[in-house]
Structure 1
Amino acid sequence: MQLPKRLNKIHGTFFLRKFLLNISGNYCRSLCLFSFLLILLCSTSGFPQSRLDSLKTSFEEETNDSLKVVYGIQMLREFHRNEHKEEEEYDLARGLIQKALNTGDSLLYARTLDNLGLLYRYHQRYDEALSLHTKAFNLVEDMEVDPVHKMIFANNAGVAGRYNQRYDTAVSYYMKALKIAEEENDLKNIAIAGNGIGNTLGNIPGRQDEALTYFERSLEAEKQRGNSLGVAMNYLSISDYYIDKEEFTTARKYLDELLRINREREDNYGLAITYEFYGKSYLEEGKDLDKAAYYFEDALSRFEKIGDAHQQAQIQGSLGDVRFKQDRLVPAKSYYEKSLELAKDLNQHGLIMKNSYQLAEILERQNQPSAALQYIKQGKAYEDSIKLEEQNVEIAALIRKYDIEKKEDHIQLLEKDKALQQTLLDNQQQKLERRRILMLLLGTGLLFILVIFLLQYRNHQMKKKVNARILKEEKEKMKAIYERNLARAEILVTRLRVNPHFIFNSLNAITYLIQSNQNAKAMKYLVVFSRYTRMVLETSQKHVVPLSEELKLTQYYLTLEKNRFEKDFTFEIKGEDAPEVEKILIPPLLLQPLIENAIWHGLLPSKRETKRLLLEVIPEGEIVKIIIDDNGVGRSGIEKRSAEKDHKSMGMQIIKERIELFNKSYSGHIDCEVIDKKDEQGKPEGTRIVFKLKQKILSENPAELLS
């Protein structure tokens, strides 16, 4: 059946439009990549409504114009994330530009221009966005400002230029951002600029091969940063590059890596995009269209769960393309109709136009020329509306650009007039200043003579005081050296009293294991015992040791003492990996006697099923705490046993003496507190000992402790 003449005439334009849609394929893919990143960023960077309310309050109450603009930019971004009212956002952004102009701060003005550009870009008004981003960068390019602002403005200009198909402009600004990022060794912006250049070059005929170099450079930077989202974006870009090159096997290798990353991230949106690009690769290859349909359907189900209607509309159209290539016109028609329905709900004029033309071609093949003609008319209407909307946007952009430039010119004239008035005022102030200077010089001369006389008298008096102080300090120094040597000798004697007691108990415990044929266990404790004794010998000549060594020695001690119990004794050491542990110096074997008391006189007599001992290091600003906590019988239980009372009193006396000697001999200071723990009925629940070391003990250079 032949078409009517009128339909033939309209149908002649159909294939031209289809051709134009095909050559813009790279642009559409780039737009998909941009949407992927934008949606991910929006979904992962949202703040609760209270954050927006807080910023609104700060914005309204702020009286300083510059700070008000800064709060306004932050508030606008939160407003966009939470409420997304387009016209209100534009009005607020333009108001911030005016406020920034009034401050005369060029960087702040540039930030407000860039902020409005981001809003335009989000709503795909790329021409207006490009103008604002480039203006923002040009304002600060030669200024001494934080380079991160220059990189942000340049990268934003590159993005807007790329989506506006101004590829030369896009590459130019991306290159500027990349140069600054390399000078600053800013991996984040190296990755952003590199990816942007790659996507831009991929749209320029004859330069697609250069794109891969920049994608790989961006990928390497993201790997160095450990940014899995950035790595995923580059894998997606590289796979799209190989799809365009029709190297489908290589493209799918990168998609495999992208799939692995998104599974690790548990990123459902990323998985949906990945499956969509798997489908595109098989669709473009044309060999296994059923597999293409399988991946598109998987992606579609994920976007339906997410609630992303835009992507659903796009994939319904892609499924229609698959069935159309298979010459399965009935399911193809169904998919195109679903895509068209969603596109109309979303007001996506481009997708409506494409689906209308595709449905027209299917109906033509099904010998339904009247219905085909209706779809061609619909496609033509939306094609014309796209052009008209673009013209309206351009006109509005020109008007706004003129208004901003007019305001800038007016402000510049006011600044020039203000500068002239300031010059006249400065001249008058200079005359008054010269008179003041003359009077000050005369007064200063008289004062100078008086000061010289007073200084001479003061120097004479100071010499007498200094000589007397030198004699006093010499005597005090000799006394301090004597007391330090005496203190070190007393510490050494104390250490020799503590160690033999524990060594005797440990050897008895190991002997018992050997006699009871527990050889493996005996070997284990012999190794621990040998390490313990070696550490004791190594520290025997030291007056202070790092807390890390003391904790390690304590762990060996507790391991050996655990051998004395059955399975009812547990111990735990916390905080040993804190950075401060390496910087703290304490007297050696300071903790062991207290831990020994806790085990032998607190836990061993206890009838609890689980006997627990905790040693914890807690940095608290300028003070570091060392806590020894047990759930034994407490000191009141020990006092009932006179023999044990004498032993404990002697141990605590030794500890107190060592702390006093340490505080007397070194610049640091240690406090020790013993706390009796009790339950609600007042019964003992154990003992807690708290050491407090003041910040002066902490130092990158332990030698400072001896000063």
Structure 2
Amino acid sequence: MLDSLEHVINNYKEVDTNYVNLRIKYVSRKMFLTPADTTWTDYNNKTLDISKQLNYPKGIGISYNNLGIIKHYFLSDPLEGLEYYQMSYAIFEKEPKFQKYVVGVLTNIGLINLEQQEYDKALKSFKALLINPENKSKFNTEFYIGNVFGEQKKLDSSIYYYKKALVGAEQSNRPLYIANIKTNLGLIEANAGLLEDGLTTINESLDVIETHNIEGLRVTAYTNAAEIYLKNNDVENAEYYATNSLKLNEGLNSLSTKSSALGTLANVYSQKGDYKNALTTYKEHIVLRDSLINADRKLEILRQEIQYEADKDRAIAQVEIERQKSIKNASIAGGTGLVLASIIGFILYRRKQDAVSKSKEAEFNAKVSDTELKALRSQMNPHFIFNSLNSIGDYILKNDTQSASDYLSKFAKLMRLTLENSEKKEILLIEDIALLRTYMDIERKRFNQKFNYTIDVDSHLDAENIVVPPMILQPFIENSIVHGLSQKEDIGLITISFKAEKNMLICSVDDNGIGRKNSATNKNNPDNKSMGMAITKSRIEIINKLKNTNGTVNIIDKTEGTRIDVSLPIQFAF
């Protein structure tokens, strides 16, 4: 079919929209059937250039989406892939006739969230697509929902959606989708203890791939087959498929599938008793896995999503302002009579007020986006991360593996919880307290037990029902540790307390450190201002505006140490 299509394209006499459509059809099939052949990247770029010359929105939008797929799937660059997906979405969302293409673009954006372990966000996207009337391949969306539940270890739900998707794919006679669904279904069945079913399903998938020569799925299918055979204690077949998956991946260069194959191969070596190769392979798997979902990449993807929405709000406000200016000028020029002029003036005044209001709203949204981003960055303090990793390295050099393991476990937990909460406006108070405990346990270990801490929650507060902004006290705790307690000669104490006063939640950080006046940091730089303090004040200002409340931040300099009181409106989860 590809050869036939290529022949038609090469003999096409005119460069028009039909020519572009033929090229789009060709590259869409070529890149999945022959993923190791990267000539279609240049081919797609040329299709994009021709579409721009013809001013053909459909060709431009699909070419951007294809570039996103190339960067995302085949070059393992979800950040650049997301950028192209957003460019494609900006083209398609303008025209109702292009809504069927919006489904594909939003699906790809949802897959980036899935790969970055943003499961709630991915599930929300896919379930919305499931009820979209323009979604003509609902079985494909059901497949992705099965993937989300599989990653969340909700195996029954995953199997349910995979089997629903399989029915749709078989009714539509789509071999590529059938093979893909069965590849994942087999692994989930094996994970759920249905070992024979898993083995049967993966072999059916491999048969479809072989029959239809679907090379783009072979690496993933081999990786899953290796895992399934390993669960069935067939080490020989497990090693065969894991090894061949890595060999095939050399041409594909997909970091995600390589990471999965390495993880499976490490388990194979471990089961064979080859612990040296098991350790080496596992280390390589961990490094690769962490590079795919590292904090910087997740932070940058989140930043790009926030920036995209903020720019969109600004653009809408600016268009409205320009439209009102045009209306005003036209009305003044054509206005006759005092009454008519008054009426027009009143209308223009109201519209101008609306435009100004929208402009201020867009500026406020931009401020919210910027504050969210800064708050996220302050929680992921690079100095704290660097120092923590140094401490882990120091334990390893001292051969204190127990301390290194304990420190690494707490550090990994803190990073995971911070990233999980980064997209949430509010979390339960009990969850925030758990996060703060983990953070302070790490800092105590890093500062050689230089301080102790207590956390007191008023007995009248329901910590499992009250919600707060995540990690809002963390910058103040960090200041207490670094600038107050670390410079104290004897053991310090931080007391964190939560109590209710007049429908407000009072969150306090009280330390017995050397105080702000005696801090070496402040002496060396009297003009130094805490970035964490500024960000927290900005977050509370936004809460005050959105909730119409009067939250505050107060600093009390004590005879010995400092106390910070943060007041927030009491909000309940339910």
Same fold (TM over 0.5): no
Q: TM-score, normalised by structure 1?
A: 0.36
Higher relative CO (Cα under 8 Å, sequence separation at least 6) belongs to 2
Pair member with larger Rg: 1
TM-score by length of 2: 0.44
> Higher helix fraction: Structure 1 or Structure 2?
1
